[in-house]
Chain A
Amino acid sequence: MTAFLALWKKLLNESKVMLAMIALALFGLSWLSVYRTFIVLGQLAGDDERKAMRTRGGLMQIGGPSMDFSAGAIEAIHLYWLFLMIPIFLVVAWAVSRGTAAIAGELERGSMDLILSRPISRTAFFNAHLAMTFFGFGLFMIAIIGGNFVGARFNTLEEPAGFWAVARPTFNLLALGMAVFGYSVFFSSLDLVRWRPMLAASTITLAQFIIFAIANQPDWDEWRWLNKATVFGGFYPIEAAARGDQLARHFGILFAVFAVGTSLAFLVFQRRDLPAGGG
C-alpha cells in the first residue's frame, strides 16, 4: 500500500462517524424535500384557490425571480431554506472540520510527528487531506441525489425533478463547501492549535451568512452589492435547480476562493516549521 493511501485510510477511519452522520442526514432531508414537494404541488394543483395562492406567494417570496414552480425548484427551496438550512450547516461543518484538522489539528494532536517522520512528503500529506475532503463532498452529493431518487419512488410526482435539477444545486452547495474549506485550511496552515482556525473560520462563515441575509432582504436593494463580499453570494440553489444559467459563474467564484485559500495553505505548509505537538 502506498503511503498516500495508508494516510487516506487513516483519515477515513478517523472521520467515518461524522461522514456517515452527515451523509445520512442529507439523504433523509433530500427524501423529505421530495415528500414536501409532493404535498406542495398537490396544493398548487388543488381545488382550494386560496390555499394555492398562499402557497404560491410563499414560494415566490423565498424563490424570488428564479422561482418557476418546477419540482426541482420547490425541492431546492425546501432542502436549502425551509429545513432550517441544515444541509448548508452540515456541509459547512464538514468543510471547517476537515480544513482545520488538516494541519493545525494534526500538529496539536501530535500525529503530524508520527506521520512526517516517515518518508512521506508534505505534498502527499496535504493531498491526502484534500482527497478526504473531496471524498466527503462526493459522498454528500450521492446522498442528496440518492435521497431524491428514493423519495421519488415513494411519492410519485407528475413532473419529477430531473437528475440535473437536483444535481446542479447540490453541486452549488458543494462548491460553497469547497470555498469554506479553502479559507479554513489556510487558517489551519498558520496555526499550532485547532481551536483558533476553527473559531476564525466559523466566525467568518457566520458573518458572511449575516451579510448575505442583509444583502437579500426584499426591500433593501441598496445593500445588494454586499453579495459580492460573501461566499454565499455564489450560492443560488433555486436558480441552479430551475435554470442553472448562473451555475458556472457561481462555481467559478466559489472555486476561486477555494483555490486561493488552498494554494496559500499549501505554500505556507511547505515552508513552515512543524514544532512538537501543541506547539
Chain B
Amino acid sequence: MISTVGLTKHYGEVAALSDLTLDVKAGEVFGLLGPNGSGKSTMVRLLLGLLRPTAGRATVAGHDCWTQSVKVRELVSYLPGELRMPGSMSGYAVLRFLSDLRGGESLDRAVAIAERVMGLNLSRRVRGYSTGMKQKLALAQAFADPVELLILDEPTSALDPSARGDVITLVNDAKTTGQTVIFSGHVLSEVEQVADRVGIMRCGRLMIVEDMHARRSLRMLLARFEGEVPEIFPEALQLSIRDRPSPDVLLLEHLGTVGPLLDWLAGSRNITDIAIGTEDLRTLYDRFHGSSPVDESLDGRNP
C-alpha cells in the first residue's frame, strides 16, 4: 500500500527526514512512534503530497505522492495532529463540508459515528467544542471516509479513556474491513494494542521496524551461569543473546515454543538462576529514546 525509497526531506541544513525506506502492506496497522520532531509528521505530510521530497520517492497504491497527490488523497483519510476547525460552523456543517470535499458520500456514516459512537451534539457550533470533542468530530469523519488508507496523527491525544477505547475499537474495525492504518502516537500501550508492526523514529531517521506479532510471542530470559557462559545455543531453541549485563549473566530473547526451552533449561546444569518474562514496547522505545539510547539502527531488524 505504502512504499518509500530513500525518502528525504531537508529544510536547509536541517534534516527533517533522512533516507526513509519502508513498505506498509495493505490491511496492516502500522504504528509510528517517536518524540516530537522525530520526523513522523514530515513523513505523513510527504505521503499526502503537502511537502515535496528533497530526495527519494513515496507511493501510495502505486501513485506518486507528489506528482499524483490528488489520486493519493482519494485513497487516504487523514487526521491531523494539530486540529484547526472553522469555529463558526456547527459540527454537522463541518462534517458536511469535509464530506463534500470528497463528493459527499461519507456524510451519513460520519454523522452516525459522531452522534452514536462519539456522543457529540452536532447542532452546536464547533467554537463551543472542547479540544477532545473537536478530535472526536475529526475522527468520526476519518473513520467514515470510504478510503483504503487511514492516517491518524496522534488520534487519542485529547480524548478521555472511554473515547480512547472507542478509537481502538474503530481502528480494529477498520483493519477488519481491510483498511490500512498508519497510527502515529505517543501512547505506547495504545500502539502496542493495535499495531501489526511498529516503526520507531529518531531525528528524522527510522531506527527500527518491529513486528508486533513476533514481539507478543517474545520471551526474555535473564540467566545466571556458573562456570562457562555459552556463546551459542541449539538452533531449534530460537534463543539469541540480547545483552550481557555482567560476565556471568545473559539476557536472552526467545521466540520459539516453550517445550524445548523448558527441556533445555532442565538439562542445563550450569544455570544457577533464571527469570522469564515478556518485554513491552516501552523497553524497545527506550533503547532509542531512553536515558542511554543506542546510536545506530539495530542490525538485521530494519525494514
Measured CB to CB, the residues of A under 8 A from B are 1-3, 5-7, 9-10, 13-14, 109-111, 113-121, 271-277
Contacts and interface: CB of A to CB of B under 8 A. Distances in A.
A73 B76 CA distance: 58
B204 to A, nearest CB: 15
B264 interface: no
Contact of B70 (A6, A121, A271): A121
Interface residues of B, number: 30
Interface of B is mostly: loop
B214 interface: no
Given A1-B104, A117-B73, A274-B50, A6 B84 contact: no
Contact of B52 (A2, A5, A117, A273): A273
Interface string B211-253: 0000000000000000000000000000000000000000000
A115 B50 contact: no
Contacts of B100: 1-3, 5-6
Interface stretch (B85-93, B166-174, B188-196, B277-285): B85-93
B50 A116 contact: yes
A120 B86 CA distance: 18
A214 B51 CA distance: 46
B84 A110 contact: yes
Contact of B86 (A6, A14, A116, A117): A14
A83 B71 CA distance: 52
Contact of B84 (A3, A10, A113, A117): A113
Interface string B75-89: 011101111111011
Contact of A119 (B50, B84, B97, B101): B101
B101 A275 contact: no
Contact of B51 (A2, A13, A273): A273
Nearest to B52: A273
B103 interface: yes
A120 B101 contact: yes
Residue of A2, A14, A114 most packed against chain B (CB within 10 A): A114
B48 interface: yes
A115 B104 CA distance: 14
A113 B138 CA distance: 12
17 contacts: A1-B100, A3-B100, A3-B101, A6-B97, A14-B88, A109-B84, A113-B80, A114-B84, A116-B48, A117-B48, A117-B80, A118-B98, A120-B70, A120-B101, A273-B50, A274-B45, A275-B51
B21 interface: no
Contacts of A276: 41, 45, 80-82
A119 B78 contact: no
Contacts of B89: 13
Contacts of B78: 117
Contacts of A118: 73, 98, 101-102
Contacts of A10: 86, 97
B74 interface: yes
Given A117-B77, A274-B45, 20 more contacts: A1-B104, A3-B100, A3-B103, A6-B97, A9-B97, A10-B86, A13-B88, A14-B88, A110-B83, A110-B84, A113-B50, A114-B84, A118-B98, A119-B70, A119-B74, A120-B70, A271-B52, A274-B51, A275-B51, A276-B41
A277 to B, nearest CB: 6
A115 B50 CA distance: 11
A6 B104 CA distance: 10
A120 B74 CA distance: 9
Nearest to B42: A275
Given A6-B100, A118-B102, A275-B45, A111 B50 contact: no
B70 A114 contact: no
Given A116-B50, A119-B74, A274-B45, A111 B101 contact: no
A3 B102 contact: yes
4 smallest beta-carbon distances between A and B, as pairs: A110-B84, A6-B100, A118-B101, A117-B78
Given A119-B73, A120-B70, A277 B84 contact: yes
A119 B76 CA distance: 8
Contacts of A273: 50-52
A110 B78 CA distance: 14
A267 B41 CA distance: 25
B102 A119 contact: yes
A122 to B, nearest CB: 8
A237 B176 CA distance: 67
Contacts of A13: 88-89
Nearest to A110: B84
A16 to B, nearest CB: 10
